[in-house]
Amino acid sequence: METGLSLQTALTLYPRQQSRPSFSQIVTSNSNRPEDVNYSGSSGQEAEPEPMGCIEFIATAASILLFIVTFPISLCLSFKVVQEYERAVIFRLGRLRKGGARGPGIFFILPCIDTYCKVDLRTVSFDVPPQEVLSKDSVTVCVDAVIYYRVREPLAAVVNVNNYSHSTRLLAATTLRNVLGTRNLAEILSEREAISHTMQTALDEATDPWGVKVERVEMKDVRLPLQLQRAMAAEAEAAREARAKVIAAEGEMKASRALKEASDVIAESPAALQ
């Protein structure tokens, strides 16, 4: 009886230690931290900004004080204008400001602590440099194309990629070589529209995280090696000559058939000669 009472007293004084969290619970709790949230370009998925620190507060207050002291000269440095086809992405002390891209029209920045980047939303076209591609049937062709694209998400175009224009150009050249490498020469020459659509779909999917929309891809020219051009010209000339001989033979056959029918008519009625 005393042993049971002492055991109950010990359990009361020293409660059972809580179980240690599992590895999956630790990963789940750590994945919800603000620094682990990736920016996707849409304002709905943007991470909550951290509270302003002491240094940031002092810098902001000093910038506001500088704006007041130098007023109205500071108006020229604080008010900026973006055109209808532009948007401005603003950073304050290295952090993206809330509210998304500004524009079109006038917007306000604080001197010394705010920086901004203008993004052009108009459609841009560029020529892909001629690419030497080895086709599926081992024929080397030189192909160039023209790409039409525009910025769809200004925030993603600034935050997610260093230079969206240069990156899109490099990706277009690589995609052109990859797509043409899966086609033979006859398909490259006859299915340009299908190849352009395939390239447009692949580029649009790859540039979507950058906020870039690829609107159109056009193949401008397909140049063949000189020897292959001569061989194809000789083949086409031989095909034309063969076709001409067939047409001439068919004409002679029809003429001989008509002469035979005429001779049969004359043989049956000699009076027809009179």
Model pLDDT for residues 7-17, shown as the tens digit of each residue: 444 444 444 44
Same domain, 136 and 210: yes
Percentage of the chain modeled with pLDDT above 70: 70
In a domain, 12, yes or no: no
Mean pLDDT (the chain) is 76
Residue 2 has what pLDDT? 42
Residue 214 has what pLDDT? 94
Point out the domain boundary residue: 77, 96, 120: 120
In a domain, 2, yes or no: no
> What is the distance between the alpha carbons of residues 91 and 115, in angstroms, rounded to a whole number?
5
Same domain, 82 and 113: yes
- The range of the structural domain enclosing residue 206 comes to 124-224
> What is the distance between the alpha carbons of residues 196 and 145, in angstroms, rounded to a whole number?
9
Same domain, 131 and 214: yes
Same domain, 138 and 215: yes
Total domains in the fold of the chain:
3
Same domain, 212 and 245: no
In a domain, 21, yes or no: no
pTM higher than the cut 0.85: no
Point out the domain boundary residue: 120, 152, 168: 120
Same domain, 265 and 218: no
Confidence of residue 54 (pLDDT cuts 50, 70, 90): confident
Same domain, 132 and 202: yes
pLDDT score of 239 more than 50? yes
1 versus 61: which is more confidently predicted? 61
In a domain, 134, yes or no: yes
Residue 147: name the closest of 181, 196, 189 by CA.
196
- CA angle in degrees (0–180, nearest 5) for 205-208-209: 125
8 Å CB contact between 167 and 109: no
In a domain, 11, yes or no: no
- Within 10 angstroms of residue 262's Cβ, the number of other Cβ atoms is 11
Point out the domain boundary residue: 95, 120, 145: 120
Confidence of residue 237 (pLDDT cuts 50, 70, 90): low
In a domain, 18, yes or no: no
In a domain, 140, yes or no: yes
